[in-house]
Structure 1
Amino acid sequence: MPVRDKGVVVTGAGHGIGRALATRLAAGGARVVVNDLDAEAAIRVAEEIGGYAAPGDAAGEQGVAALVEAARGHLGGIDVWFGNAGIEPGHGLRATEEEWAATHEVNVMAHVRAARLLMPGWVERGTGRFVVTASAAGLLTMIGSAAYSVSKHACVAFAEWLSLTYRHHGVVVQAICPQGVQTRMLDNAGPLQELLSHDAAITPEDVAEATWQGLHGDRFLILPHARVAEYYAHRATDTDRWLNGMNKLQRRLEDQGALR
């Protein structure tokens, strides 16, 4: 089993996908540290799964360092890191400077800061696993949300760089890229819910189970929605046709008043 008796950290684990991941990993025998900005949620999930709550910031430099220190103190060492926390401000080009900066901090720099602290030890001992929740937006794009799309592309790009740089040192890097998932983010998507649910909005538990299966194979991409692989290939092989198709969706949503 890939995580039995392993020390695992899951960020953003108080709700949604993070909670489902923490629950599935604990059921598989992992010793789980539950992180979330929502301290009450982190404590509640930790109690439910027999884990350890380490609430707080998991994006800023000091917050990441504090989380790593707390997790190491409890676990004795971190074997697997799930960088799951993420935010989506929406608003297209109307997103403010502050929203762009916050999205970059949480969706990109959180992973960079965690990797800085984890990779040296993993390389020294020849093993470790770094998993990011990137979203299909990181492989394709997300209509209506420039900051989210850009940051998730950067998230995937950073994970790719980690994989090609450290895989021969025994470090496995993976990116979870679901489409629509029944979380608060989807609930708050308004008129975009239909688009995000085009290939059926799955549950966080579905994502967690797909991830659990993905941990056994070590493939870089974990795709809970199988058709994302087809879209990704189509985007790469005929980019203009793919962009034209996405633009048709954009125009349809504008005509419906869904994008303003």
Structure 2
Amino acid sequence: MNLTDRIAVITGGAGGIGSALARRFAAEGAAAVVVADLDADAADAAAAGIGPVAHAAAVDVTDEEQVRALVADTERRYGRIDLFCANAGVATGGGVELPDADWDRAWRVNVLAHVYAARAVLPGMLARGGGYLLATCSAAGVLTAVGDAPYTATKHAAVGFAEWLAVTYRDQGLRVSALCPQGVDTPMLADGLAAGHLGARVIAASGAVLSPDQVADAVIAGLAEERFLILPHPEVAGYARRRAEDPDGWQAGLRKLVRRLRG
């Protein structure tokens, strides 16, 4: 996909990867970029910083009616949606001990929000013979987020759902990509480090933390090639191969890393 004259919607668009995507899409010549976020003021500020092609929208991605309203309003305003980026996400920094409310929130934001987006945009995209869905899934969706059980489980589910969409609708013109970065310099990572979360410490110790703008560069390249897996950290592909070929050895290596970080 070339972004010139396209209509794009980005959830979680007010900061981090989302705002970097919004800026880059506008720079690539998008006709309109809808910056959707739970934080209405932050969405307004992000859109204002981009310019007249950007439009802000307040939306809770865990509320299907709000997602449907976002899609309907965008289609009324611009006539269509060419690219929908389901980018909102949450981490927990915990394991099996977390209460059901934390697991439910992770499930609703990291998985069901993608389902709600697909339900809302698919009818229009399929009727027009094409469209693009970009799901921000994280390298945790193909590997493991050490120290964060809900994040690991839900990001694996997000990759699985994106792959299902790609297999089911590709022949009807739908393109799907799963964006799977590893460490990115975002508020999510900063908050995790401040809280002492093990997963954030693993990412920081890797020395491979990218800026959101670097992730946006990888997205532009991945969309141009219509690749299913967009890996801003190319080494993730090698990790995934090692994990598939020698799961016991891969797990042993992760356990060693955890022991070292725990002192």
Superposed counterparts of 1:200-215, under 5 Å: 200-215=208-223
Residue ranges of structure 1 left out of the alignment (5+ in a row): none
Whole-Å separation in 2 of the counterparts to 1:59 and 1:172: 23
Hey, what does 1:250 align to over in structure 2? 258
Q: What secondary structure does 1:92 align onto? A: coil
Q: Tell me whether 1:165 sits opposite 2:168 in the alignment.
A: yes
Please, what is the CA RMSD of the aligned residues?
1.3
1:11 is matched with 11
Note the C-alpha offset of 1:124: 2.2
* The 10-residue stretch of structure 1 (31-40 or 59-68) with the greater mean CA deviation from structure 2: 59-68
1:216 partner letter = A
When the two structures are aligned, how many residues end up with a matched partner?
255
Task: Classify the secondary structure of the residue corresponding to 1:47.
Answer: helix
Q: Distance in 2 between matches of 1:76 and 1:126?
A: 15
1:72 maps to which residue?
A: 75
- Alpha-carbon deviation of 1:111? 0.6
Q: Runs ≥4 in structure 1, deviation > 4 angstroms?
A: none
**Matches of 2:76 and 2:258, distance apart in 1:** 49
| Contact 1:54–1:71 (Cα < 8 Å) also in 2 | no
Deviation at 1:194, TM superposition (A): 4.0
Provide the TM-score with structure 1 as the length reference.
0.94
Aligned equivalent of 1:88: 91
Hey, what's the Cα distance between the residues in 1 that align with 2:112 and 2:222? 24
The worse-fitting range, judged by mean Cα deviation, of 68-77 and 33-42 is 68-77
1:45-60 → structure 2 map (5 Å cutoff): 45-50=46-51, 51-60=54-63
Cα displacement string for residues 222-256 of structure 1 (whole angstroms, at most 9, x for unaligned residues): 110010000011111111111111122223333x3
**Structure 2-normalised TM-score?**
0.93
Offset of residue 42 of structure 1:
0.3
Q: Distance in 2 between matches of 1:100 and 1:176?
A: 22
% same residue: 47
Unaligned runs of 5+ in 2: none
3-state DSSP of counterpart to 1:34: strand
**More displaced 10-residue stretch of structure 1: 1-10 or 216-225:** 1-10
